């Protein structure tokens, strides 16, 4: 039989080292749907929790500020009574008071 342009075939060599090629698996639509649902639920949970997290951060900031204010008042009181001089830092004062507490 004479070969025409449309009848030509090519034989592939499947014996060489590059002949076995693994193709990636195709994801199921159900897997994609499940992943999308998980993402949606995480976003909803984040949206619900956001105000509570904000409130917790505000409370933490307030407590920190109150503690710092209290330490500053003590520093000013000791400075006014002449127990310490103005060159003493608040950190040095805290360390000194901690040392006295341990004794």
Q: How many domains does the chain have?
A: 1
Quickly list DSSP for 13-50: --SSTTS--PPPPPPPHHHHHHHHHHHHHHHHHHHHHH
Provide the 3-class DSSP secondary structure of residue 11: coil
User: Which of these ranges, 1-5, 31-35, 68-72, 97-101, has the smallest mean pLDDT?
Assistant: 1-5
Which sign does the torsion angle of CA 34, 36, 40, 42 carry? positive
> 15 in a domain, yes or no?
no
- Identify which of 10-14, 38-42, 93-97 has the greatest average pLDDT: 38-42
Choose the most confident range, by mean pLDDT, from 15-24, 26-35, 49-58, 88-97.
49-58
DSSP state of 51: H
pTM for the model stands at 0.43
In-domain check, residue 39? yes
What whole-number distance in Å separates Cα of residue 27 and Cα of residue 33?
A: 10
Residue bearing the bigger pLDDT, 72 or 22: 72
Q: Which domain holds residue 81?
A: 29-93
* Domain-located, residue 40: yes
Q: What are 48-83's pLDDT values in tens digits?
A: 999 999 999 999 999 999 988 888 888 888 888 888
1 has pLDDT over 60: no
Q: Is 66 domain-assigned? A: yes
Contact call for residues 78 and 84 (beta carbons, < 8 A)? yes
Q: Is residue 59 part of a domain?
A: yes
What integer is the mean pLDDT of 69-98?
Answer: 84
């Amino acid at each position: 039989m004479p070969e025409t342009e449309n009848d030509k075939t090519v034989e592939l060599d499947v014996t060489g080292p590059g002949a076995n090629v693994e193709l990636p698996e195709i994801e199921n639509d159900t897997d994609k749907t499940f992943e999308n649902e998980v993402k949606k639920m995480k976003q909803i949970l984040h949206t619900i929790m956001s105000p509570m997290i904000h409130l917790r951060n505000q409370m933490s900031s307030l407590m920190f500020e109150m503690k710092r204010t209290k330490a500053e008042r003590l520093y000013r009181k000791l400075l006014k009574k002449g127990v310490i001089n103005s060159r003493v830092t608040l950190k040095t004062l805290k360390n000194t008071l901690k040392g006295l507490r341990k004794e």
